[in-house]
Amino acid sequence: MLAPVDNEAVVLAVLAAMLVSGLLYSSFLTHPRGIVDSLSAYRTYLQRAASGSWHIHPWNYYLSTLLYSHSSGGPVWTEGSIVGLAILGFAGAMSRNGVNGVDKTMLLFLAFYTVLMVVMYSLIPYKTPWCLLGFLHGLVLLAGAGAVRLMSLSRNAVVRSLILSLLAAATVHLGRQAWAASFRFDSDPRNPYVYAHTGKDVFVIAGRMESIARAVCPIV
């Protein structure tokens, strides 16, 4: 059973958050207008969230990007192992016994926080790939709980070794994919996370400009 909410603690937490926010946005009260600007900035975000633009995508854009992305001539991109393990972690949070070694209250908070974030981000029409980081960290933490729950499903040494091997393979896959996304396909449109990205040919242009500069002015 969850512990009752301490209303006094909630009020103190809100006041502390307001105090820190006010001090930082006002540059420690030297720029009071900053507090107003920090609130009025939401108007821009709200307008952008629903306005028609190239960045309007269907509700399942983030989930489909995580589960399966493929462009002609490019590799298959997937973080399905994270999503699958996160579902197991969520199921563990909803179960009576929870997940061994994981605080039940914290796990429940993480489960509802992550689901709420996924739903909210999916409902906002304005979508860019990097915005999914807003909830991906929650999925990763839930996936960790899911991995623990998966390992605890069987006491059989062979089954546990097989599960451990699958988890290791998923980890290696994610690591290789992260390397490919960061280096080999870092500016390649076949990478689903490359979005409105400047191509590497900009360096060719820069080199050409330097050659012209040397021809016009040899001193350069």
pLDDT at res. 102 = 87
CA distance linking residue 10 with residue 174, whole number of Å: 39
Residue with tokens 């790939």: 129
Whole-prediction pTM value?
0.75
pLDDT band at 49 (very low <50, low <70, confident <90, very high): low
Domain spans of the chain? Answer: 1-50, 55-195
Residue 209 tokens read as 């400009």
CA distance linking residue 112 with residue 93, whole number of Å: 9
pLDDT at res. 81 = 96
CA distance linking residue 110 with residue 200, whole number of Å: 40
Share of residues in the chain with pLDDT > 70 (%):
94
Residue 31 tokens read as 């720029």
Name the percent of the chain in helix, strand, coil, to the closest 5.
65, 5, 30
DSSP string, 131-142: GGHHHHHHHHHH
pLDDT at res. 4 = 67
pLDDT at res. 162 = 94
pLDDT band at 175 (very low <50, low <70, confident <90, very high): very high
